[in-house]
Amino acid sequence: MLAPSSRPLRSLIVATALAAATATAAAAPASAAASSTHGTKAATATKAKSKAKKGKKVKRPVVGKADLVARNLSLDFLSDGFSIEAFVANTGKGRAGKSDVSVVLSSDELFDAGDDVLAEVPMNGQAGGTERRVQTEVEVPEELPDGDLYLLICADGNGDVIELKESNNCVSQLVASDSVGEDGSEDGDDGEGSDQAAIDDADDGQTV
C-alpha cells in the first residue's frame, strides 16, 4: 500500500508560516507608529515646559538707592573763622559709598560750578536710615568779596554717590551781608561785616 502524499500537509505548513510572518510584519509598523507618537508627545511636552520656564519672569529684590541729606548746620564764630557742625543723613534705603562733605562759599544758597569749595571732609560708607555728625573748623581769609555770602555744607559734594535725589544735598546759612555789616554785628570788625564772609582751608575735619 502506497503512503499518502505529504504535499498537502507541507503546503498547509508553508501557508501557516506565511500568514504568521504577514501578521508580524503588519504589527511592527503599528508598534513603531505608536512608539513614535509617544516620543513626539513627550518631546512636545518637554519643549512646552522649557518655553514656559524661559517665559517665566524671575522676581528679584529691588535694591533701593541712597539719598544723602545735609541738615542741622550750626556755626560758632572764632577769632579767625568758624567752628562748624552739621549732620549728614542717608534717608534712602540703599547704602551710600565713600564720599566727601564739601564746605562751600556761595553768593546764594545753591551749590553752583562757580562757587568756591573751601574744604572737604571725607565720609565713609553709610547705611540707609542712619545719620552722622560732621565737625570741622575753617579760617576766614582777609580779602573777601562784597555782597551776601552763604556757607554751604553739601553731602557728596563731588557727586560720587548715585542718589535717589541730587538736589537735597546741601544746607546753608548766611554768614555775611552788607546790611548786617553796616550795623556792626558779629559778622565783622569795625563795621566791615560784608568783608568777613568767606571760609578758607579747613583744619583736619572729623566725622562721628
Q: What is the pLDDT of residue 193?
A: 40
Query: Rounded to whole angstroms, how far apart are CA atoms 104 and 111?
Result: 7
Which segment of 41-45, 115-119, 203-207 scores lowest on mean pLDDT? 203-207
Whole-number pLDDT of residue 136? 95
Report the range out of 4-18, 102-116, 140-154, 184-198 with the highest average pLDDT. 102-116
Strands (DSSP E) found in the chain: 68-77, 81-90, 99-106, 116-123, 131-139, 149-154, 170-176, 206-207
CA angle 92, 94, 98 (to 5 degrees): 100
pLDDT at 2: 47
- Note the pLDDT of residue 130: 97
pLDDT at 145: 80
What are the boundaries of each domain within the chain? 1-60, 68-207
Structure confidence at residue 197 as a pLDDT band (50, 70, 90): very low
**Band of residue 33 on the pLDDT scale cut at 50, 70, 90:** low
What confidence score (pLDDT) does residue 47 get?
A: 60
pTM flag (> 0.85): no
Superfamily designation of domain 68-207: Immunoglobulins (2.60.40.10)
Cβ(105)–Cβ(170) under 8 Å?
A: no
Residue with the larger pLDDT of the pair 44 and 114: 114
pLDDT in tens, 49-86: 555 555 556 555 545 899 999 999 999 988 888 899 99
Work out whether strand 81-90 and strand 206-207 pair parallel, antiparallel, or are unpaired: unpaired
